[in-house]
Every structure is written in structure tokens, then in C-alpha cells.
Amino acid sequence: MDAAEVDCARWLSCHFPQGAERENIRESTLEGLDTASRKGKHGGRPPVITDDMLHTGLRRRANGESVEQIQPDLIIPTGKRKGRNPSVASIYRALAEHAKREAYPEVAEKAPADFAALQAGEVPGPRLLLVTSP
């Protein structure tokens, strides 16, 4: 064996077992996440804007108040920032997500099924978007 073949053999012996181990870890992690999601458990931080805070914000916005006026009265109930006020950006984001869910309720209902199909390796079919005139 010449020096190049020795280097190549050393590289293969060093990298392939690690690559296989990484792939095993990746597959185990994905299986665990899939199992947890089927049980209704999802990781990540708790949401900053709770449903109660969102409804308060929606009601006050309907009464003509600005987000800047609403923000000091909202208090985060859990997590690292418990007891503090959410940022104005978080409130705007929650209001925008709510508006999107209201505008396209069928998409919000079908999203979990589409995600499960993607995880199973299936590709969900196209959907027709029904647009109604005001």
C-alpha cells in the first residue's frame, strides 16, 4: 500500500462508523419526536401569548386601542419571563397568526394531517383554494 491508500483507509475507518452512529442517533430522535407528537406532546418553549391574553388583545383592539396601549396590561403567566409584559412584536405576531387562522380555517385544520403524511414519507395532494367574493 502506498501512502495515499493508507490515508484513505484511515479516513474511511475514522469517518464511516461516526457517520453510521450519527444516522442512528438521528433516526432515534425522529422516532421519539414522532411518538411524542402522536401523544400530543410537543417540545419548545411555552407560548408567550396565551389564549386569554389573545382574547383580551382582540377585544381591546376592537374597541380601538393600540397594541402599545394594551401591552402594559398583559402579563406572561409561565416560563423564563413569567410576571413580565410580552413585547409589542409578540402581540402583533399573535394577532397576525390569529387573523391567518380565521381567514383560512380549513388549512389550520388539515395542517397536522399533512405534517403526519410528510413524516410517513407521503406527499399530500394539492388542494383547491376556494375564494369567496365579499
Model pLDDT, residue 25: 87
Model pLDDT, residue 108: 67
Model pLDDT, residue 78: 84
In this prediction the pTM is 0.54
Q: Quote the cell numbers at residue 114.
A: 399533512
Model pLDDT, residue 50: 92
Rounded CA Rg of the chain: 24
Residue 54 makes CB contacts below 8 A (sequence gap 6+) with 94, 95, 98
| pLDDT, averaged in runs of 10, over the chain (134 residues) | 60 64 85 85 82 94 95 91 93 92 77 75 65 59
Q: With both helix axes pointing from N to C terminus, report the angle between 88-103 and 51-62 in degrees, rounded to the nearest 10.
A: 90
What is the CB-side half-sphere exposure of residue 27 using CA atoms within 13 A?
Answer: 6
Residue whose C-alpha is closest to residue 71's, from 90, 46, 55, 52: 90
- Please name the amino acid found at residue 59: R
Q: Quote the cell numbers at residue 63.
A: 374597541
Residue 67 makes CB contacts below 8 A (sequence gap 6+) with 57, 61, 88, 91, 92, 95
